[in-house]
Amino acid sequence: MRSSLEASGLDCGPISVHDKMAAMGLPVVPSIASLARIFRAAGVARREPRKRPRSAWRRFVYPAPNACWQLDATEYVLTGGRKCVIFQLIDDHSRYAVASHVAAGETVTAAIAVFDKAVTVHGVPQRLLTDNGLALNPSRRGMIGQLVEHASSLGVEPITGKPYKPTTQGEAPQVLRRSYAGCGSRLRAA
C-alpha cells in the first residue's frame, strides 16, 4: 500500500496508508502507530526529529477562570504625537480582558488601579502573572514592588516570567494590540 501511494506521488506516511486501507474496506487495519513502527523497521520511513510534536501546537490555558490573570502594559502614540500607556489585564483561562486602564506612563499607581478595577468586578484571582518591569514585579531585580505587596495582601500569588523570555507574557500584548488597533480616536481624550 505504501509503495503504491509513493509511486503515485501521494503522501505515503502511516496516516495516509491507514486511511487508504480503511477506505478499501480491509477487515483488519493496523493502527497508525503500528504502521509507523513497521515502516521504521523496514527502513522506508524518514526520521524527522526536527518536526514539532502535535502537543506543541496546543495552547496552554489555566484550567478555570480567575486561576491566573496576566497584566502587561503597552505604549501607544496618540494622534498628535502624545504618548500614553495602556494597561491590559486578561484572564489566562478565557483570554477575556477583565480590565483596561490608560495612563500617562507605566507607573505602580496605574498598575494597582487596573488590578483593583478588575478585582471589584470579577473577584480576586489565585495568581497574577506580570513581566519583571519596575511598575509590575521587580522581584527578580531584588526589590519587592508595591503591586506585588498589594496583590499578596489579598492572597494573590504574584508570579513573573523569566528575564528575556517573553513567551510567558505573550497573550496580553497580542490581545492588547487586537483590542486597540485603529481606535486612536477613542484614546485621544486620555
| Residue ranges of domains in the chain | 2-57, 68-187
Our CA dihedral for 79, 80, 81, 83, rounded to 10 degrees, sits at -60
pLDDT at 44: 85
Closest CA to 18 of 4, 30, 3, 6: 30
Each residue's pLDDT tens digit, 31-70: 999 998 998 888 887 766 666 666 556 666 788 889 999 9
- One-letter amino acid identity for 23? A
> Which pTM value belongs to this model?
0.59
pLDDT at 116 over 90: yes
Which amino acid, one-letter code, is at 68? C
Looking at the DSSP assignment, which residues form a beta bridge with residue 83?
Answer: 77
Fold of 68-187: Nucleotidyltransferase; domain 5 (3.30.420)
